[in-house]
């Protein structure tokens, strides 16, 4: 085979491995986010989005052929972004400032 063919195969393999790593990382993050959906605040739509993204990432049926994982990445990122925004805990707000305390009036002693 020609050298350019081997270079093309190597580049394609590297791109596939890189996108596969991204899919695995996003899949793990989605699983962690799914743990937050066990609470009473989780809606049916949130659960459907979570399970739909998991099934789409695992299933062999894709919009694009399997070597191209861009559609899986897009579905996982959408689910993470949507569920992450809904399950994000509000940041702890600092307590309100206390009102200023009156300074005590002291009488000075005069020495003679």
pLDDT digits (tens, 9 = 90+) for 57-103: 888 777 777 677 888 888 889 999 988 877 665 555 677 777 777 77
Q: Which pair of structure tokens corresponds to residue 16?
A: 């596939």
| Position 10 pLDDT exceeds 90 | yes
CA gap 30, 51 in Å, rounded: 10
pLDDT in tens, 31-56: 888 887 887 778 888 889 999 998 88
Write down the pTM of the prediction. 0.63
Q: Are 26 and 84 in contact (CB under 8 A)?
A: no
pLDDT band, very low/low/confident/very high, at 108 (cuts 50, 70, 90): low
Token representation of residue 108? 């000075």
């Amino acid at each position: 085979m020609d050298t350019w063919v081997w270079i093309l195969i190597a580049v394609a393999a590297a791109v596939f491995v890189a996108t596969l790593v991204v899919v695995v990382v996003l899949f793990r993050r989605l699983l962690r986010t799914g743990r937050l959906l066990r609470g009473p605040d989780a809606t049916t739509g949130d659960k459907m989005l979570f399970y739909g993204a998991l099934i789409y990432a695992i299933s062999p049926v894709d919009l694009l052929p399997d070597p191209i994982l861009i559609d899986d990445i897009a579905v996982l990122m959408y689910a993470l972004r949507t569920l992450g925004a809904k399950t994000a805990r509000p940041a702890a707000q600092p307590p309100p400032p206390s009102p200023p305390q009156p300074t005590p009036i002291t009488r000075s002693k005069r020495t003679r």
